[in-house]
């Protein structure tokens, strides 16, 4: 069977991932098709021509993809694994991809069936370790930039391929391991925490979110996103007609304005605007773009609540609305469906220097 590209996705968003992957293939001039079973938690691209999937993997910038959580390239389906020796075919497929890898990931889809499958394949790990060692396959971070991924889609079938830190997620299965922090007034805080990890390197976060900077949180109540900003020692203007968590107000870093987030204007420019308001995605997209265009903030992270149908089309529409509002103002846009997102995607819009007209 031809090698493929395997993408891990949020269950229920396979169609949107397939549309995005096919758009990437069309832009790269590569013909092929995507297999994406609803609620399966993954999508598989196969090219019509040999080597096409590998070429597409080289063309894709994973950081710019919206719906995939992880990309596994050079993947081959190993089916009908014998019950008595499941390690043999897996090791043989791995050797075809090399003998030195950064690490080994045994993955499953992020579904109920996948979770049950994970408990079944976990005992396989020590047997695989022995089989890999016997076959001369070494796992050493210093020797390779690639990880070996064994992605089980059933008890007797898996894809064997590789992923990289340079063009993929650093988290196993693309899922961050974030704990609900004590003191945060809502679980939405994890959404912003993940977004900051996805969109900013530690160095960028340190430079762009310095203590004492001012941020505006539109639709702040009860304060899950505000809490993240306070933890970074920023001053926050929390804008919401609802009540804020009293503990946040007692920090002295938060001021509460009972006002409509669409009507609020900062008295002076601020460093950040964040927004998790429940509203039509196009309205939120235009609002965020206006904040950048008019110089009210330099960085903004905002959520786009997607409709039940035509979600990929809605994402594209929001991109177009943002470009239209920005006009000639240089800015960089990235979008991602985060693990902590549901029927939504999170976007990051960053103002660029006037001399830098790079726009994704």
- Looking at 112, 145, 174, which one is the last position of a domain? 174
Q: CA-CA distance, 158 to 152, in Å (whole number)? A: 4
Domain of 296? Answer: 189-351
With 80 as the cut, is the pLDDT of residue 355 above it?
no
Asked whether 213 and 207 are in contact (CB, 8 A), the reply is no
Domain boundary among 142, 174, 206: 174
- Catalytic-labelled residue, pool 305, 309, 310, 336: 305
Residue 141: predicted pLDDT:
79
Same domain as 170, residue 196: no
Tokens of 178: 């974030």
**H-only helix segments in the chain:** 14-28, 52-59, 87-95, 112-121, 124-134, 189-199, 202-208, 224-231, 246-249, 281-293, 311-326
Residue pLDDT, tens place only, 182-201: 889 999 999 999 999 999 99
Q: H-helix or E-strand containing 212? A: none
d(C-alpha 187, C-alpha 180), whole Å: 7
Q: Identify whether residues 170 and 193 lie together within a single domain.
A: no
Task: Rounding to the nearest 10 degrees, give the CA dihedral for residues 253, 255, 260, 261.
Answer: -20
Write out the two tokens for 74.
């050079």
pLDDT at 360 over 50: no
**Is the same domain home to 141 and 164?**
yes
The two tokens of residue 277 are 């308001």
Note if 35 is an active site residue: no
When divided into structural domains, the chain yields a total of 2
12-35 average pLDDT score = 98
For 59-83, the pLDDT digits (tens) are 999 999 999 999 999 999 999 999 8
pTM of the model: 0.93
Domain contains 167: yes
What whole-number distance in Å separates Cα of residue 232 and Cα of residue 253? 11
CATH of the domain at 221: 3.40.50.150
Tens digits of per-residue pLDDT, 116-150?
999 889 889 999 999 999 999 999 877 789 999 99
Per-residue pLDDT tens over the stretch 254-270:
999 999 999 999 999 99
Residues 24 and 61 occupy one common structural domain: yes
């Amino acid at each position: 069977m031809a090698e493929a590209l395997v993408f891990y996705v949020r269950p229920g968003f396979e169609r949107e991932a397939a549309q995005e992957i096919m758009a990437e293939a069309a832009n790269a001039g590569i013909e092929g098709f995507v297999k994406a079973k609803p609620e399966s938690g993954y999508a598989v691209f196969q090219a019509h021509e040999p080597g096409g999937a590998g070429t597409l993997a080289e063309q894709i910038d994973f950081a710019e993809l919206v719906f995939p959580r992880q990309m596994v390239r050079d993947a081959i389906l190993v089916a009908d694994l014998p019950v008595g020796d499941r390690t043999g075919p897996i090791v043989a497929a791995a050797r075809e991809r090399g003998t030195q890898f950064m690490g080994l990931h045994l993955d499953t889809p992020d579904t109920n069936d996948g979770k049950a499958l994970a408990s079944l394949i976990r005992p396989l790990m020590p047997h695989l370790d022995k089989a890999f060692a016997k076959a001369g396959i070494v796992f050493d971070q210093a020797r390779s930039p690639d990880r070996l991924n064994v992605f089980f889609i059933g008890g007797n079938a898996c894809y064997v391929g590789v992923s990289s830190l340079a063009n993929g997620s650093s988290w196993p299965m693309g899922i961050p391991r974030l704990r609900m922090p004590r003191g945060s007034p809502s679980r939405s805080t994890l959404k912003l925490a993940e977004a900051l990890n996805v969109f900013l390197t530690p160095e960028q976060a340190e430079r762009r979110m310095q203590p004492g900077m001012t941020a505006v949180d539109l639709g702040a109540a009860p304060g899950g996103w505000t809490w993240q900003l306070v933890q970074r020692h920023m001053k926050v203007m929390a804008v919401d007609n609802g009540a804020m968590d009293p503990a946040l107000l007692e920090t002295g870093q938060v001021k509460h304005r009972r006002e409509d987030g669409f009507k609020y204007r900062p008295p002076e420019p601020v460093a950040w605007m964040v927004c998790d308001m429940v509203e039509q995605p196009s309205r939120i997209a235009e609002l965020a773009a206006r904040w950048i265009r008019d110089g009210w903030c330099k960085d903004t992270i905002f959520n786009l609540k997607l409709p039940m149908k035509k979600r990929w089309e809605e994402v594209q529409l929001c991109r177009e609305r943002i470009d239209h509002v920005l006009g000639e103002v240089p800015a960089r846009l990235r979008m991602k469906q985060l693990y902590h997102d549901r029927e939504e995607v999170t976007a990051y819009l960053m103002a660029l220097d006037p001399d830098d007209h790079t726009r994704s």
